[in-house]
Amino acid sequence: MKSRKEEPAEPAVVIKGLRKRFGRQVVLGGIDLAVMPGETMAVLGRSGTGKSVLLKLLIRLQEPDSGSILIQGQEICSLGFRELNEVRKKIGFLFQQAALYDSLTVEDNVAFPLVRHSQLSDEERRRRVRELLSSVGMDKDLKKLPSEISGGMQKRVGLARALALNPEILLFDEPTAGLDPITASEIDSLISKLKAERKITSIVVTHDIHGARSFADRVVVLNDGRILTTGTFAELQKSSDPLITRFLSEAA
């Protein structure tokens, strides 16, 4: 990973003073973060520290209470419905449970964004869907419904759907949660492969520190809605902060 001094490009994602609370519970208490283009950032933290909320705020699936979010230099908190959707087309989102549409087949799930946002003919679209699915190792079972495939396979299809519109930024919400270690490492390898092949900017929310080590350029550790630390794994390991050392040792 190049250091930021050598990288003159504008950050792909900039978050400033982001706050969110549900009722009296403060979930995010002022987050400042910048993710550079092509960088893969892992957001680590225990359950309930606001990791998933942070990810959803980035495409305004939830509305922040205050703060600003810049995607490729564009402030999205004040955008109207249409402009926001234009930004969303540049971002792929892999949900924790894959969130495939129950009533659509694997093929139609991946085609869903393409049908609505691309000018491809039926034949071109079918070909593109097959390409996407084979890039995640799911070139069979195209006609099956999500309920007929395993959790790991659903995650792969979810990833293919997230990649459908050639996004410049990918957001992963617990990509390996609930999967067996072998499937989890396959998903981690897919994230590494994407990083190498497509140079996509990725933010991966996870509590799987081993996986994060394999693909992340930089790590952010969240605790109680605040950033505890940001840095590479090497920097993290040198930290003397008791919370960080505990987090690393208990996750190891």
- Residues linked to residue 236 through DSSP beta bridges, in sequence order: none
What is the nearest approach in angstroms of other proteins to the Cβ of residue 134?
A: 21
Which one of residues 101, 139, 180, 246 is an interface residue with other proteins (CB under 8 A)?
101
Which one of residues 93, 172, 215, 247 is an interface residue with other proteins (CB under 8 A)?
93
Total residues contacting other proteins by CB under 8 A comes to 24
What is the nearest approach in angstroms of other proteins to the Cβ of residue 88?
A: 4
Write the Ramachandran bin of 189: left for phi over 0, alpha for psi from -120 to 50, otherwise beta. Answer: alpha
Interatomic CA distance for residues 251 and 228, integer angstroms: 16
The contact mask relative to other proteins for 139-178 (x = CB under 8 A, - = no) is: -------------------x--x---x-------------
| φ/ψ of residue 105, rounded to 5 | -70, 170
Under the criterion CB under 8 A, does residue 210 sit at the interface with other proteins? no
What is the nearest approach in angstroms of other proteins to the Cβ of residue 243?
A: 30
Interatomic CA distance for residues 90 and 73, integer angstroms: 13
Q: Which residues 6+ apart lie within 8 Å of 105 measured at CB?
A: 142, 143, 144, 145
Interatomic CA distance for residues 49 and 47, integer angstroms: 6
What is the nearest approach in angstroms of other proteins to the Cβ of residue 69?
A: 15
- Residues making contact with other proteins (CB under 8 A): 56, 59, 61, 81, 85-86, 88-89, 91, 93, 95-97, 99-102, 112-113, 116-117, 158, 161, 165
